[in-house]
Amino acid sequence: MTRCRLSADDRREQILSSIGPVVLEHGVMVTSRQLADAAGVAEGTLFRAFGDKDSLLVAFAEREGCRAFDLSSVELRRNEFLTVSELVRAMIEAIVDQLGHYMELTMALGPLIHAAQRGCGEKNAVEVHNQRFGDFNQRIASLLEPFAHEMSVSTTAAAAAIATVAVTASSSWGQVARPLSLDDTHRILVHGLMAEQSGSSPAPSPKLDHP
């Protein structure tokens, strides 16, 4: 029985989709042998596909960076959400999971990623990031559009808030655990910070002393 030979692009994708755990475990110190074993290929195949180990790791980081801001899993289910609360919950679950993984990766490959960005030009790297984040916000706003009449702010403003809070919730910021749970993130985004008190008037704004 003959085995189907993968195209060059399919081989690259097969390798990139297999090496995540070993990269996170060893970071920049991962060896080409460990990468090849994780992908189930010979080291020679690895080098033919990417040239060298650093090029493979940079390609992997770029792939995961794109996937971190991908909302396809939520967009495919857009007709399932009956309330804005359900939609926001689904979005933050996807964002926190994907971005949390990417932030762990950038910590593991930090020096290599920074070196690659310098090689491409710092300005270009910033432009790519800004474009990616802008597209990300637009996709969130588009998902929110069916519920626009229920919200107190525009879909653009809501998208910016969701992106900002969810990105913050994706990282532990040096702590052992992430400071915001999914429940807390969802509650803040949908209901705000103030607890609802039945029958009570809004608390007065604090007086500011002006010079």
Instruction: List Cβ neighbours of 23 (8 Å cut-off, separation of 6 or more).
Output: 30, 35, 57, 60, 105, 108, 109
Average pLDDT over residues 190-199: 70
The model's pTM = 0.75
Q: What is the per-residue pLDDT across 44-77, written as a single tens digit (0 to 9) for each?
A: 999 999 999 989 998 898 888 888 889 999 999 9
Task: Give the Cα separation of 44 and 34 in Å (integer).
Answer: 13
Give the CB-side neighbour count of residue 34, counting CA atoms within 13 A.
15
How many residues are listed for the chain in this entry?
211
82 Cβ contact partners less than 8 Å away, ≥ 6 residues apart: none
- What is the Cα–Cα distance from 40 to 21, expressed in whole angstroms? 14
Residue 10 · residue 3 · CB < 8 Å: no
Quote the pLDDT of residue 202.
47
Distance CA(97)–CA(182), nearest Å, equals 10
Q: pLDDT value at position 119?
A: 52
Between the CA of residue 99 and those of 1, 66, 170, what are the distances in Å? Answer: 42, 10, 6
Rounded to 5 degrees, what are φ and ψ at 179? -70, -25
pLDDT digits (tens, 9 = 90+) for 121-154: 555 667 777 888 889 999 999 999 999 999 999 9
Statement: residue 14 has pLDDT above 90: yes
